[in-house]
C-alpha cells in the first residue's frame, strides 16, 4: 500500500504555502512579534481559506476535514513561523467543543474567523505551586499562566480533575495580563480569576485527554515545519557562503551536518502522519502515540535548530537572517503542553513500565 498525502491534501499544502509565502514575509513576522501590528489580518486571510474551520463539522459552518489535513496545515504554519492562534482556536477549541456538544453557535463563529478562543490547560497538565485554579458553584478563582492567545474572546480553562470550563474574556473579575516568552510569534498571557463566571463545557476527562492528544500532535507538526525550514535555510546558506574561495557546502564537515539533520528529520514526517491517523482511526493507540510523537519531534527539532544555526556561523545569531524566530518557536514548543521528559514518563505509565 502507498502511505502518503492524497492529491487533495497535497493541493491543500500547496495552497497554504503559496498564501503564506506571498502574504506572511519575515518582515511581517517581525512586525507582529515586535508588537507593531496585530496578527488579525493574517488570521482573517487564513479564515478566508477555511483554515479556522478545518476541524469543525460542515454542519456547524466548518470544513469538516480530518486530523491529517490539520497536521498538514500546522506543518505549513510552522515552516513559515506564522504568528497566529491556530493551535488554540482552530485545534484545541473545536476538538473540545465538538466532543462536548451543544456549542454549534460558538463553533460557527470560530469557523468564520470572527471568534478566537484561548486555552488555559496548565493546571490539568502540570500544576504549579504559584498557579492553580479552583471552581465551585459556577465560579472560578485562582491564576493561570502561559495561557495561549492574549487577544482571545474567551478561554477554555481545565482544572486538576480534567474538567473544562468556558470563561469570557470580558467577564467581571477576570484580569488578563500579557506575558513575554522566548517565542514572540505566539502570544501568551496570565489570567487571574476572582469569582469569575465559568460555564461547564465538559466534566468527562476523556474529552480533555483526546483534546490534549490532538494538540500535542499538531504542535509536533508545527515543530516539524519549523525544523524543515531551518534545514532548508542552512542548505541554501551553505550553497552560497564562501570560505577559502570555495562554497562551504563543499566541505565534508558541513555536508555531514546537513545530512545528519535531513536523516533525523525525514522519518518524523511519517511519524506525524501516523499519529494523525490514530486520532481518527485508532483510538486505542492515540494517547501513547501522541506522547511519543511530541517527545521525539521536540528532541529532533532541537537538534536541527542547533545544527542549522551552527551552519550559519555568526550570521545565524543576527536578526537580519531571522533564524532565531524558528529556533525560539521550536524551543517554546518543546515545553508547551508537556516537555519530552514528562511525555516519556507518561508513556511509561501507559505501558505499565512506571507506577
Residue 1 pLDDT: 44
Q: What is the CATH number of the domain that holds 169?
A: 2.40.110.10
Q: Which of 115, 146, 169 is the last residue of a domain?
A: 115
> Where is pLDDT greater, at 227 or 242?
227
Q: Does 235 lie in the same domain as 341?
A: yes
Whether 62 is in a domain gets the answer yes
Q: Does 134 lie in the same domain as 222?
A: no
Q: Does 231 lie in the same domain as 334?
A: yes
Q: What is the pLDDT of residues 247-282, one digit of tens each?
A: 999 999 999 999 999 999 999 999 999 999 999 999
Q: Does 236 lie in the same domain as 331?
A: yes
Whether 2 is in a domain gets the answer no
Whether 274 is in a domain gets the answer yes
Q: Which of 115, 135, 158 is the last residue of a domain?
A: 115
Beta partners for 136? 139
Structural domain count, the chain: 3
Q: Does 303 lie in the same domain as 228?
A: yes
> Which DSSP string corresponds to 245-257?
TEEGGGSHHHHHH
Gap between the Cα atoms of 288 and 285, Å rounded: 6
> Where is pLDDT greater, at 99 or 316?
99
> Which DSSP string corresponds to 86-155?
IIIIIIIHHHHHHHH---HHHHHHHHHTS--EEEE-HHHHS-BTTB-EEEETTEEEEEEEEEE-TT-SEE
Residue 130 pLDDT: 72
Average pLDDT over residues 290-304: 97
Closest CA to 305 of 333, 344, 275: 333
Residue 346 pLDDT: 94
Q: What is the CATH number of the domain that holds 269?
A: 1.20.140.10
- Lowest model confidence (mean pLDDT) among 76-90, 127-141, 166-180, 231-245: 127-141
Average pLDDT over residues 151-164: 96
Q: Does 263 lie in the same domain as 152?
A: no
Whether 295 is in a domain gets the answer yes
Q: Which of 65, 87, 115 is the last residue of a domain?
A: 115
Q: Does 219 lie in the same domain as 346?
A: yes
Hunting for cell 519549523 — which residue is that? 226
Question: What's the mean pLDDT when you consider all of the chain?
Answer: 94
Average pLDDT over residues 134-148: 94
For 185, the 3-state DSSP assignment is coil
- CB 189: neighbour CB atoms within 10 A? 22
Q: What would the grid cell of residue 218 be?
A: 499538531
Closest CA to 26 of 327, 233, 330, 323: 323
Show the domain range for 24: 7-115
Q: What is the pLDDT of residues 318-344, one digit of tens each?
A: 888 999 999 999 999 999 999 999 999
- Where helices occur in the chain by DSSP H, the ranges are 7-23, 26-33, 40-48, 67-79, 93-100, 104-112, 122-125, 205-240, 252-281, 283-312, 323-335, 340-350
Q: What would the grid cell of residue 165 be?
A: 470550563
Q: Does 163 lie in the same domain as 188?
A: yes
Residue 101 falls in which region: left (phi positive, over 0), alpha (psi -120 to 50) or beta: left
Q: Does 296 lie in the same domain as 178?
A: no
Q: Does 210 lie in the same domain as 346?
A: yes
Whether 84 is in a domain gets the answer yes
Confidence of residue 2 (pLDDT cuts 50, 70, 90): low
Residue 208 pLDDT: 97
Q: What is the pLDDT of residues 63-81, one digit of tens each?
A: 999 999 999 999 999 999 9
Whether 22 is in a domain gets the answer yes
**To 5 degrees, how large is the angle CA 255–CA 258–CA 263?**
115
Whether 1 is in a domain gets the answer no
Per the CB < 8 A criterion, the answer to whether 258 and 311 are in contact is yes
Q: What is the pLDDT of residues 39-50, one digit of tens each?
A: 999 999 999 999
Q: What is the CATH number of the domain that holds 16?
A: 1.10.540.10
Gap between the Cα atoms of 228 and 222, Å rounded: 10
Q: Does 319 lie in the same domain as 218?
A: yes
Q: Does 71 lie in the same domain as 37?
A: yes
Whether 54 is in a domain gets the answer yes
Amino acid at each position: 500500500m502507498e502511505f502518503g498525502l492524497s492529491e487533495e491534501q497535497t493541493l491543500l499544502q500547496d495552497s497554504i504555502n503559496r498564501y503564506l509565502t506571498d502574504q506572511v514575509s519575515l518582515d511581517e513576522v517581525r512586525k507582529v512579534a515586535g508588537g507593531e501590528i496585530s496578527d488579525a489580518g493574517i488570521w482573517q486571510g487564513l479564515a478566508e481559506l477555511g483554515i479556522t474551520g478545518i476541524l469543525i463539522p460542515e454542519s456547524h459552518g466548518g470544513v469538516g476535514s480530518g486530523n491529517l489535513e490539520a497536521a498538514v496545515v500546522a506543518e505549513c504554519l510552522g515552516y513559515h513561523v506564522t504568528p497566529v492562534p491556530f493551535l488554540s482556536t482552530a485545534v484545541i477549541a473545536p476538538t473540545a467543543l465538538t466532543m462536548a456538544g451543544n456549542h454549534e453557535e460558538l463553533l460557527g463563529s470560530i469557523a468564520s474567523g470572527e471568534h478566537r478562543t484561548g486555552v488555559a490547560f496548565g493546571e490539568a497538565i502540570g500544576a504549579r505551586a504559584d498557579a492553580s485554579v479552583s471552581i465551585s458553584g459556577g465560579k472560578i478563582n485562582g491564576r493561570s499562566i502561559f495561557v495561549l492567545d492574549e487577544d482571545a474572546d474567551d478561554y477554555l480553562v481545565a482544572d486538576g480533575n480534567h474538567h473544562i470550563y468556558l470563561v469570557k474574556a470580558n467577564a467581571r473579575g477576570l484580569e488578563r495580563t500579557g506575558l513575554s516568552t522566548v517565542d514572540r510569534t505566539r502570544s501568551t498571557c496570565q489570567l487571574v480569576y476572582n469569582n469569575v463566571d465559568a460555564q461547564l463545557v465538559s466534566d468527562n476527562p476523556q474529552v480533555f485527554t483526546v483534546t490534549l492528544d490532538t494538540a500535542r500532535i499538531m504542535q509536533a507538526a508545527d515543530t516539524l515545519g519549523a525544523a524543515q525550514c531551518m534545514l532548508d535555510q542552512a542548505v541554501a546558506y551553505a550553497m552560497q557562503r564562501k570560505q577559502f574561495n570555495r562554497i562551504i557546502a563543499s566541505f565534508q564537515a558541513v555536508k555531514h551536518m546537513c545530512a545528519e539533520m535531513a536523516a533525523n528529520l525525514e522519518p518524523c514526517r511519517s511519524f506525524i502522519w501516523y499519529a494523525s491517523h490514530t486520532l481518527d482511526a485508532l483510538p486505542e493507540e492515540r494517547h501513547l502515540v501522541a506522547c511519543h510523537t511530541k517527545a521525539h519531534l521536540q528532541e529532533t527539532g532541537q537538534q536541527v535548530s542547533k545544527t542549522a544555526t551552527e551552519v550559519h556561523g555568526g550570521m545565524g545569531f543576527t536578526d537580519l537572517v531571522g533564524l532565531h524566530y524558528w529556533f525560539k518557536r521550536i524551543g517554546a514548543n518543546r515545553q508547551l503542553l508537556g516537555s519530552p521528559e514528562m511525555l516519556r514518563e507518561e508513556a511509561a505509565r501507559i505501558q505499565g513500565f512506571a507506577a
